A and B are shown apart, each in its own frame.
Chain A
Amino acid sequence: MGESELDQALVERVKNGDKRAFDLLVRKYQHKIVSVVTRYVSDWSEAQDVAQEAFIRAYRAMGAFRGDSAFYTWIYKIAINTAKNYLVSRGRRPPIGDIAIEDAVQMDGASQLRDRATPERELLRQEIEQTVFGAVEDLPEELRTAITLREVDGLSYEEIAEAMNCPIGTVRSRIFRAREAIDERLRPLLSADED
């Protein structure tokens, strides 16, 4: 199953009462949702609250989500609505040139509204990015190829296996080891930062 089917499977589990599945969804999409919220709410602390509220609303409304659209699209719209409502309740107005949802989904990554609240945070964030790229650079070639084909080119395990001429099990293992290596370098960086 692909990524969108994964989401559907997790949603089904959430509907059946599995809170852990929702936790996984939150962790998967937290950056994306915070990203869209920061387009409307520039204060960092408020943006986090609004993003959390969006997830809460999504949980509550999940009884009515049947997969008409991709889960991400759905929760994305909820996030936008939540952010807008928040602004309205504060007497503020949404940014001019309100972004069309379709464009916004594409735009992830081109945002100008980084958390400029503190330079340290911005620095730290850049450091995260450099850490990830650095870790990938330092990987043995077959691990680097595997993770790049997966994350950047979006190939399935089967396609990667074909491209790299190895069994799928090897693909799975290589990708995992690549992630572990990155994770190892990220941990000290992230645990140092507690808000």
Chain B
Amino acid sequence: MPNQSEENVRRQSIFDMGIRRGLLLALGALISCNVTAQVQQGAELLGQMASSVRALDYQGSLVYQHAGRIDTLRVFHAGGTREQERLISLNGPRNEVIRNGNNVTCIQADDSAIVYTSTSGRGLLPLVPEAATSRLDEHYTIRLAGSDRVAGYAADIVEVSPRDGFRYGYRLWLEKETRLLLRSVVMDQGKRQIEQFMFVSLDIGKTPAATDLIPRQRELLTTTAAPADEVNLRGPPTWSAHSPPAGFTLRSARRSAASEAGAQHLVYSDGLASVSVYVESMESTPDLPVTLANRGTLNIYSFSRDSWRFTVLGDVPAATVTAIAESLKANAASRPPP
């Protein structure tokens, strides 16, 4: 019967279309699954990278290229529950940073030294990547970009590309087994390299000797446990950024443990990049000119308002510190926390 067969044909073609669409959908699903898998894999790798950097023992030399110069450094790292690390400049003035548990000591060539007691509790456990990391794909595309060899180790390359101009992109070489970061290139949205570092010699798993982890002037090393130099605010911060760039949310609000009223330190982050906002009271009130300064990936935006001085800095594009700085407002009905 012609009608029936027409209908059959129609039904069949619909069915065909259905299958085809189904196939297409399925195929599409497969493709996006692959992309999603990549993103997930990439994000996982980043998490593993963060863990390895903290948990492993290693030592090596690296070159660091930034702001039109190349410097070389030596690093010793003892990982685990009590993380210890020493970073030494190999060229120029003899500076070093020693991390010992919660204490960070910076020693300059002229032996001026400063010590800071960390709040974050890092070094007690290898860090589990924050939940936010898994939403990185909202603001970055993450893909695997092949393999390479760095400092004699095989590496996978992860490319993290920003979706907008408020963050940098990264090309990260992660050692195949441990996911230790071997090389890193930081780029702007136009893929121009801003800075990079690369290990040129590295020994993963080699525990540093005790003498490698202390400064040449031992007496400058502080080991006493001390109260943290910054503490979390009890209430909401006095100031906050009311329209930070997409994805940047307030992650911590602290103040100096020993401070006068009002000195606060806010941290905004999109899960990968961080921006610090320092709010300090000024004694005198001339309004200071707005200043934007840059060095390599670091941008610093500074201005004053009323009797407050604001300093916004981070390894983010200038647009980001600017946007955050310019959206800083006093929170309604807030007073400086006690």
Interface residues in chain A, defined as those with a beta carbon under 8 Å from any beta carbon in chain B = 57, 60-69, 74, 77-78, 81
A-B contact pairs, 5 of them (CB 8 A): A61-B107, A68-B222, A69-B219, A81-B217, A81-B219
Residues B224 and A67 in contact, CB atoms below 8 Å apart: yes
Contact mask for chain B residues 110-125; partner A; CB cutoff 8 A; 1 contact, 0 none: 1111110000000000
Contact mask for chain B residues 216-229; partner A; CB cutoff 8 A; 1 contact, 0 none: 01111111101000
With A and B bound together, what is the CA distance between A156 and B184 in angstroms?
Answer: 61
Report chain B residues within 8 Å CB of A77. 217-219
- B115 — nearest CB in chain A belongs to which residue? A64
With A and B bound together, what is the CA distance between A62 and B222 in angstroms?
Answer: 11
With A and B bound together, what is the CA distance between A60 and B224 in angstroms?
Answer: 19
Interface residues in chain B, defined as those with a beta carbon under 8 Å from any beta carbon in chain A = 105, 107-108, 110-115, 217-224, 226
With A and B bound together, what is the CA distance between A65 and B114 in angstroms?
Answer: 8
Residues B113 and A63 in contact, CB atoms below 8 Å apart: yes
Known: A68-B223, A68-B224. A60 touches B217 (CB 8 A): no
Chain B CB count within 10 A is highest, among A57, A61, A81, for A61
Query: Residue A66 contacts which of B107, B108, B217, B226 (CB distance < 8 angstroms)?
Result: B226
Q: How far is the CB of A121 from chain B (nearest CB, A)?
A: 31
Known: A69-B219, A77-B218. A64 touches B110 (CB 8 A): no
Known: A78-B217, A81-B217. A65 touches B222 (CB 8 A): yes
Residues A66 and B115 in contact, CB atoms below 8 Å apart: yes
Q: How far is the CB of B161 from chain A (nearest CB, A)?
A: 41
Residues B113 and A64 in contact, CB atoms below 8 Å apart: yes
Report chain A residues within 8 Å CB of B219. 61, 69, 74, 77-78, 81
Report chain B residues within 8 Å CB of A68. 222-224
Residues A63 and B224 in contact, CB atoms below 8 Å apart: no
Report chain A residues within 8 Å CB of B222. 64-66, 68
Report chain A residues within 8 Å CB of B224. 66-68
Known: A78-B217, A81-B217. A60 touches B223 (CB 8 A): no
Known: A77-B219, A78-B219. A60 touches B226 (CB 8 A): no
- A64 — nearest CB in chain B belongs to which residue? B113
Residues A64 and B218 in contact, CB atoms below 8 Å apart: no
Q: How far is the CB of B229 from chain A (nearest CB, A)?
A: 11
Q: How far is the CB of A100 from chain B (nearest CB, A)?
A: 14
Q: How far is the CB of A191 from chain B (nearest CB, A)?
A: 34
Q: How far is the CB of A85 from chain B (nearest CB, A)?
A: 10
With A and B bound together, what is the CA distance between A81 and B113 in angstroms?
Answer: 15
With A and B bound together, what is the CA distance between A63 and B107 in angstroms?
Answer: 10
- A62 — nearest CB in chain B belongs to which residue? B113
With A and B bound together, what is the CA distance between A81 and B111 in angstroms?
Answer: 11
With A and B bound together, what is the CA distance between A64 and B111 in angstroms?
Answer: 10
Report chain A residues within 8 Å CB of B217. 61, 77-78, 81
Report chain B residues within 8 Å CB of A67. 224
Residues A60 and B115 in contact, CB atoms below 8 Å apart: no
With A61-B112, A78-B111 given, name 12 new contacts (CB 8 A).
A57-B111, A60-B111, A61-B113, A61-B217, A63-B114, A64-B107, A64-B220, A67-B224, A68-B223, A69-B219, A77-B217, A77-B218
Report chain B residues within 8 Å CB of A81. 217, 219
- B113 — nearest CB in chain A belongs to which residue? A64
- B223 — nearest CB in chain A belongs to which residue? A68
With A and B bound together, what is the CA distance between A78 and B112 in angstroms?
Answer: 12
With A and B bound together, what is the CA distance between A113 and B142 in angstroms?
Answer: 69
Report chain B residues within 8 Å CB of A60. 108, 110-113
- A63 — nearest CB in chain B belongs to which residue? B114
Give the 3 A-B residue pairs with the shortest CB-CB distance, closest first.
A64-B113, A60-B112, A63-B114
Report chain B residues within 8 Å CB of A65. 222
With A and B bound together, what is the CA distance between A37 and B110 in angstroms?
Answer: 19
Report chain A residues within 8 Å CB of B107. 61, 64
Q: How far is the CB of B223 from chain A (nearest CB, A)?
A: 6
